[in-house]
Amino acid sequence: MKRGFTVIEVLIAIVMLSVTAATVFPAVGWLIIKSRQLVYDAQAASVLQEGMEASYNVLLTGWDDMRAGRTYSPQVEFAGGEQRWAMTEGEEEVETRFTRGIQVGEVCRYNETGEQADCDDDDVTLDPESKLLTGKVSWTERGEDKVITATLLVVGL
Amino acid sequence: MTMRKGFTLVELMIAMTLSALIFVTVSSLLVTILTANTKSRRQEAFEQVKNDLGSEFSSTLRWAQEVVIGEDDSLTVDGKVYRADGGRLTKDGQAITPEGVRVESFSVNSLSRSADLTSVKVEVELTDASFNLAQDRLVVVVSQRQTEVGGGP
């Protein structure tokens, strides 16, 4: 009877186990990172949507609350026992992780077609009834900078 | 030559220790996998509900003609009433959330600056119906769009 044979078997088993472990554990770690990323992405999208919706509401109440070329961040203010949106200038920190800013821009249109145009182009007119909102939410994730943006054309007739 | 019958004490102890080790590792791994599985299924149910409710409120509120926020935490959009009832969110009495997810609270706040157009923050707290420790929440902000000429600034 060869008694040394079992040692080889054990060695093979150990090698196979460690190979499996070495491939499975990084994969599990990657899955965990990925799922956390998805959670942050979803939160960021919700923060951005909140900003855009609030800005739309404030803009339609009056153009003067948000001036073109500036960046704002929506906040909830208490006025007369009621809560309502208010804009403060500059970017703000939301939920400790995200930085949010909503920029207001003028809208120019081609004189002939009425389509949206670059304000530096020829034959364009500034449209006083429209503003363009550009929202931006940025955050850092494992040392990497991430950003999502959204635009919304606000027409108040 | 003497024949060795059976194992020595040392061999037996090594074998027992090894099998105990393997047993502990495998069973703890199994428990981890099973817990992760339940967790992910629960998370999936939460995400599904949040997605459904998010798009429901976004699409109805955004283009609504009339939005009324009731005192009793109800929300009426164009005559359709949303309210939490018996752990489910209902729309005109019909449940729009599944049984496995419990709606703990449903609150609606008006944040509009404008008298004509609403801007509401809808907050829904969710827990797992069978296992109360797991929870999630949905916050969705929707501003009503201006659809009539003359309502702008």
Tell me the pLDDT tens digit for each residue of A98-144.
999 999 999 999 988 888 888 888 888 998 888 999 999 999 988 89
Q: What is the value of ipTM here, to two decimals?
A: 0.75
Mean per-residue pLDDT of chain A: 89
Domain assignment present for B9 = no
Helix (H, G, I), strand (E, B) or coil at A123: coil
Domain assignment present for B148 = no
Taking an 8 Å cut-off on Cβ atoms, the answer to whether B143 and A129 are in contact is no
The span from the CA of A116 to the CA of A121, in Å, is 11
Sequence-distant (6+) residues with CB within 8 A of A122 are none
The span from the CA of B67 to the CA of B116, in Å, is 10
Question: Does the pLDDT value for residue A47 go beyond 90?
Answer: yes
Domain assignment present for B76 = yes
Mean pLDDT of A43-53: 94
Q: Mutation test of the interface with chain A: which of B109, B111, B122, choosing the one with the most A Cβ atoms within 10 A?
A: B111
- Give the H/E segment covering residue B21: helix B9-62
Residues in chain A closer than 8 A to B149 (CB atoms)? 157
For residue range B54-108, list pLDDT tens digits in order: 999 999 999 999 999 988 889 999 999 999 998 899 999 999 999 889 999 999 9
Question: Does the pLDDT value for residue B21 go beyond 90?
Answer: yes
For position A156, what pLDDT does the model report?
Answer: 80
Tell me which DSSP letter residue B131 carries: -
pTM here is: 0.79
- How many domains does chain B contain in total? 1
Domain assignment present for B3 = no
State which residues form the domain around B25: 15-143
Domain assignment present for B2 = no
pLDDT band at A66 (very low <50, low <70, confident <90, very high): confident
- Give the H/E segment covering residue A24: helix A5-61
Minimal Cβ distance to B112: which of A57, A59, A62: A57
Locate A128 and state its tokens. 């006083």
Domain assignment present for B57 = yes
Domain assignment present for B84 = yes
Mean pLDDT of B129-147: 86
For position B19, what pLDDT does the model report?
Answer: 95
Domain assignment present for B36 = yes
- B122 neighbors B114 (Cβ within 8 angstroms): no
B19 backbone dihedrals φ, ψ, rounded to 5°: -65, -35
Minimal Cβ distance to A56: which of B140, B143, B151: B143
For position B4, what pLDDT does the model report?
Answer: 66
The span from the CA of B136 to the CA of B118, in Å, is 26
Residue the block writes with tokens 């027409």: A155
Q: What is the dihedral angle through the alpha carbons of B95, B49, A54, B153, rounded to the nearest 10 degrees?
A: -50
